[in-house]
Amino acid sequence: MQPADSKPGTPGLLYITEEQTAALVDESLAFEAARAAFAATVDGAVFPSQAVHGSDPRNRFTLKPSASATHASVKIGTYWPDNLKQGLPRHHSTLLLFDQTIGRIAALLELGTANAYRTAAADALAVDLLARKDATTLAVFGTGHQAAYEVRAVSRVRPIDQVLVEGRDKARAGQLADLLTAQGHDARAADAKEACAQADVIVTATTAQADTPPLLEAPWVRPGTHISCMGADAPGKRELPPELLASARLFCDLPEQARRMGESQHAPEDAALTALGDVLTARARGRDGGDDVTVFDSSGIGLQDLYLGLALLKKMDVAL
């Protein structure tokens, strides 16, 4: 990979395109990067994300800064809903890696597809750490861009033999179930109550807002269920009912951020939030018993993006 042109005596900018990163990423790379990132949250600095909007308030983006002992970065994740009219994805991500010697940008990686793997990997890591070992039925709430990535990632860490797809648009739920079936999963559409009644693991991947009804009702969730929820990543978003957050054991990526912009913004003030990195490194307990209902609140942290970017560069045999 050749850096862009630069002035004499200054470093060039390494530019890795969306097509390159999409060809390199896979579930294994993303999962191992997630493990490394969450392990790094225990002893290193973890900076909260910032959710803002563009000139049109419907166009939203997040800034996710991060730093390790050797690298630092900022990920910019965008959501432009009208992109579909132009035949473009609504979501995109760009990672900026700093040159630690002079504070300038050393590399720019486009991570639109890779970000979907990254998000699913964090949810799957939570499943691996918190779900019952004998979990075989997965319910996915949501029929958009992210849902299929979630199913594939979770199916790597548990012996999933049935996938139930719930969506408020029933036609799209059926289409996603057909897609998953074509990819080798035993999948079918189901309504929310049926999905909860059968699921051992639930993943929520929607854009639901707090001013709309939650995706499910608390009594529908069976004892022993694990839920990974990733849709709430800004103030005012919500997927789960507050009653469930009051009774479940709550885990998250970064407690202070989860309280501000994750699902946990709707949890009781006295609810205990446990960082997933502490469970990963055995500093905190995970599931206590078979009847625990566990919830992982994934609002997204910059270390996930930093470690994913470094893993992609390593696969390309590029060092910064």
Answer yes or no: 64 catalytic.
no
Secondary structure (3-state) at 116: helix
Catalytic residue of the set 7, 64, 75, 237: 75
Q: How far apart are CA 215 and CA 239, in angstroms?
A: 6
Q: How far apart are CA 125 and CA 215, in angstroms?
A: 23
Residues facing residue 91 across a β-bridge: 79
Three state DSSP letters for 148-197: HHHHHHHHHHCCCCEEEEECCCHHHHHHHHHHHHHCCCCEEECCHHHHHH
Q: How far apart are CA 277 and CA 94, in angstroms?
A: 25
Question: For residue 239, with 0-12 CB atoms within 10 Å meaning exposed, 13-18 middle and 19 or more buried, which class applies?
Answer: buried
Residues catalogued as catalytic: 75
